[in-house]
């Protein structure tokens, strides 16, 4: 009597799929549609951002001090004295605030990204589910996090003395470097640095492959998402 054996398909490695977005995004997003995974991607993304934060912590503190000095310059003498005391007492929590902030902001960006992608998919007729949009958003983050890590390394190499304004924390090439005297315009253009342009191109691939959106709809969705991000960054630029 002949015996037969069945082979149970192995579940793809979520971390390997996440990393492969860097060099084979099409295949990675095809895999994510078949087997949606985001847990390892979220963990790896948070770790990358924390590493980038720790590497550039002296520069982050310098930027915070510059922002504080700008606020003090707008205050009266009495207000300035009280504010300086409060800032001095809170100086030690800047690193803690930076670490907590990067975790919270990362999750917030994932949520906003997923919502925009899901809405774009629904309006385009692709019938995209939020769960798949979330998978795309979290896994796509690796490109932004690699860029953040490179930016942090460059900042650390230059040192905090190279920071004279908030704009100096942006080191990746962009058109914003041509408009250093215009904080709002420079910040807007810095959101279209080489890393984010790469991210937006891969985002289109992700929407096409995982959410099955047509290319035109995918491009329109990514453009709208990029403008939302640029608008928020510009609004808070000082």
Three-state SS string over the chain comes to CCCCCCCCCCCCCHHHHHHHCCCCHHHHHHHHHHCCCCHHHHHHHHHHHHHHHHHCHHHHHHHHHHHHHHHHCCCCHHHHHHHHHHHHHHHHHHHHHHHHHHHHHHHHHHHHHHHHHHHHHHHHCCCCCHHHHHHHHHHHHHHHHHHHHHHHHHHHHHCHHHCCCHHHHCCCCCHHHHCCCCHHHHHHHHCCCHHHHHHHHHHHHHHHHCCCCCHHHHHHHHHHHHHHHHHHHHHHCC
Express each pLDDT in 52-94 by its tens digit.
999 999 999 898 888 877 777 777 776 777 776 767 666 677 8
Express each pLDDT in 176-211 by its tens digit.
999 988 999 999 999 999 999 999 999 999 999 999
pTM as predicted: 0.89
Express each pLDDT in 167-177 by its tens digit.
999 999 999 99
């Amino acid at each position: 009597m002949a015996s037969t054996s069945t082979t149970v398909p192995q579940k793809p490695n979520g971390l390997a799929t996440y990393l492969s977005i860097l060099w084979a995004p099409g295949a990675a997003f095809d895999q994510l549609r078949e087997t949606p995974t985001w847990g390892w991607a979220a963990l790896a993304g948070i770790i990358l951002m924390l590493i980038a934060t720790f590497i550039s912590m002296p520069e982050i503190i310098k930027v915070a001090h510059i922002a504080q000095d700008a606020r003090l310059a707008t205050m009266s003498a009495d207000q300035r004295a009280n504010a300086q005391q409060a800032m001095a007492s809170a100086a030690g929590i800047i690193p803690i605030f930076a670490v907590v902030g990067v975790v919270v902001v990362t999750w917030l960006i994932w949520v906003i990204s997923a919502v925009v992608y899901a809405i774009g998919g629904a309006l385009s007729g692709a019938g995209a589910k939020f769960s798949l949009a979330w998978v795309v958003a979290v896994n796509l983050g690796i490109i932004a996090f690699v860029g953040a890590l490179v930016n942090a390394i460059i900042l650390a190499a230059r040192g905090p003395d190279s920071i004279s304004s908030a704009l100096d924390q942006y080191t990746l090439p962009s058109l914003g470097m041509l408009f250093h005297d215009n904080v709002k315009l420079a910040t807007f253009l810095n959101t279209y640095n080489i890393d984010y342009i790469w991210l937006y191109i891969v985002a289109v691939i992700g929407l096409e492959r995982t959410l099955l959106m047509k290319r035109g709809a995918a491009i329109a969705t990514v453009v709208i998402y990029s403008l939302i991000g640029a608008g928020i960054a510009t609004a808070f630029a000082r």
